[in-house]
Chain A
């Protein structure tokens, strides 16, 4: 297992945001994490990446207990996290945004190559010299992904990466993720069910802070409890 959580929980003053989550993510898998708004998805990945301190439980990454490591040390061990709310360096150039991600593990001329490669993969080569804050919202989302790619992570956590992307951009994004999955394990929070069904090898459904179900897209599609809690019966409706 590349990533495991055991009994991972977070309580915010009286609210159990995440309760006793056991998650096992083998190397090379694309795993989708779905659930209604407020199910605790972002809190869960926040605890995995170290942005949020868990109230209870463990995070094991690459067979080491990283529960007590600060976020930057987990990232240095091979995690990457792209933000749900776009969080790029708005006043720095697109290339410098990706450069910062690449320089964490590369030096000298290799940095430029890595930056060029990451920008090419998300299709932002032409915008390399622009200020990141001037990009359209969709392009800023892609820049987030490019920063994740440039980190060359073993585990890439994507928090709602397709939010705000056009249909055409989503199709390109799906191709990109399949391509990335050959070298990287991916944990994907996603609301767009079409993207989830197309990409994920397995799906974990979170509801009210607990794991409601886990399985292949077909199994989740057929699961009554999931339909009741989340999909509203139709199975392919995109949820906001």
Chain B
């Protein structure tokens, strides 16, 4: 009997300690997305994601054949829909990416590249709950997602010319377009150094 009581007390204390630790974490970080997930959270989330993707979906082979055209279409689609968070080069170092919890992964690295084509497709189509990754599934548009998978495979070898082309395809505000035009004029020498006010200015 004493043994059972001791075990019960230990369990209650452990539960209370876990609750106190969780409360401390919440009070300390609030609901801020600035924090970085702990290794335990990352490992647990990856495992849950892995389990959530049906085995059949994981094993699906990309039906879009590898071609320069498919790659380019995937690239331009990525520039328009994905780069705001993932960056044109897929490293996730963007204003939106840095402000997310969890941060978007560097897609050039193994943790993304080791996923199967089917897993990447599933994630694009269904999103990942409790992250910034939305579901992009639209009826009849699966081919576009498979082309994105082709492009994601290409990311580790992306070239500067491709980044340039993607930049032209990135969504821009009117302010950004005006700024871009001003910079082009400056580089062409149409905007004299001495007459323009101010130096470096904030991007936004």
Judge: A and B partners, yes or no.
no
Q: Which residues of A contact B (CB under 8 A)?
A: none
Q: Which residues of B contact A (CB under 8 A)?
A: none
